[in-house]
Amino acid sequence: MRAILALICVFLQTVAAQRTPTISYISQEQIKDIGETVELHCSVQYAQEYPVLWIKVNRENVHEQVALSTGTALIIRDSRFALRYDTASTTYQLQVKDIQETDAGYYQCRIQISVNNLISAEVELQVRRPPIISDNSTQSLVVSEGQPVLLECYANGFPPPRISWRRENNAILPTGGSIYRGNTLKISFIRKEDRGTYYCIAENGVGRGARRNINVEVEFAPVITAPRPRLGQALQYDMDLECHVEAYPPPAIIWLKDDVQLSNNQHYSISHFATADEYTDTTIRVITIEKRQYGEYVCRAANKLGTAETKVELFETIIPVCPPACGQAHYGTGVVPVSSGPLVVLVLLITMIMRNFYTKY
């Protein structure tokens, strides 16, 4: 009987010695915020005679591996890391405090049986981080009217950020509506009304999100309007002729009369005032109007995409028009200051009487 018991003991010891080490438990995926603490557990069996290691691995590059611990001892010199071993459950617990974004990745529990033989299991640590818009997103665009346009926006972060598009002042998007969701905003046929600032917004519930302003400039041929296409003024008084020009790039603007380009001199004063990149107001002041200066004036604007023009007619009146003939009356080439209403009427009557006198004699 004793011999049989001895044989059984030897058999059991042999079986035990031949059992293959295993990893019976590994922590599930962990998702943490920056600054938190994580604990990773790895339980092993039949691994008393083999080294058990925690290793941070890079799945994209197998050569980038960092050994963190072996057995019950830490290898890495970082006070944020700690290792505990529970003998009852043969569990190796790796603790990481004050988690940083760079701690995200795969942590491998490994039993090294031989040089070419190992048993391993991995747990992924995901670190929540706010969105950061990638550099390969659209910065700004300059396009011609009628062209197709593609605006792109990509962002990194965890959880993966959601991308949405808006326009400045919540203007309607070319796709319709005030918001569009997706990484790419496609405009099949861009119009000049579509120019302006577009917002790419990346959100994932971590932090305040991220936003990029994308300026879209649309080049288009000039569009001209005359707020007052017909204007009257009396002889020897000044009058301002105006037109509004909308164009990009900014156009060259000229005034013409009888197909002759006008310039600044004693008869005309031309000014341009840009109210924005695309808008210009231009005015020509006809100074001390003479008979030959009545007629049609042409305001013309041109850029690389085209030319446009509009006409403004200046006709003669008997009574001076205010403005610009306010506060002064002309007689010949002289100027008489006017400080009261009756004096204005008196000067006008004298002017009319003198004209009738010159006409008769």
**Are 134-220 and 226-316 the same fold in CATH?**
yes
Q: Beta 196-203 vs 210-225: how paired, if at all?
A: antiparallel
Categorise residue 18: left if φ over 0, alpha if ψ from -120 to 50, beta otherwise: alpha
State whether residue 109 is helix, strand or coil: strand
Starting at the earlier edge strand, list the strands of the sheet with 38-45: 22-26, 38-45, 91-96, 81-86
Q: What is the pLDDT along the chain (361 residues), one digit of tens a residue?
A: 454 444 434 433 444 445 899 999 999 999 999 999 999 999 999 999 999 999 999 888 877 899 999 999 999 999 999 999 999 999 999 999 999 999 999 999 999 999 999 999 999 999 999 999 999 999 999 999 999 999 999 999 999 999 999 999 999 999 999 999 999 999 999 999 999 999 999 999 998 999 999 999 999 999 999 999 999 999 999 999 999 999 999 999 999 999 999 999 999 999 999 987 789 999 999 999 999 999 999 999 999 999 999 999 999 999 998 877 676 554 443 343 443 344 444 545 555 555 554 445 4
What pLDDT does 4 receive?
44
- Domain ranges, ordered by start, for the chain: 22-128, 134-220, 226-316
What pLDDT does 30 receive?
96
What pLDDT does 72 receive?
93
Largest CA distance in the chain: 163
What pLDDT does 346 receive?
53
Fold of the domain built from segment(s) 134-220: Immunoglobulin-like (2.60.40)
What are φ and ψ of residue 299, in 5° steps?
-100, 120
pTM over 0.85: no
CATH number for region 226-316: 2.60.40.10
> Which residues, 6+ apart, have CB-to-CB distance to 115 below 8 Å?
none
What pLDDT does 350 receive?
59
| 340 Cα distance to chain centroid | 58
Q: How far from 312 is each of 88, 178, 269, 296, CA to CA, in Å?
A: 99, 40, 16, 6
Q: Which residue has the tokens 């028009």?
A: 321
Calpha distance 332→180 (Å, rounded): 66
User: Please, what CATH class does the domain formed by 22-128 belong to?
Assistant: mainly beta
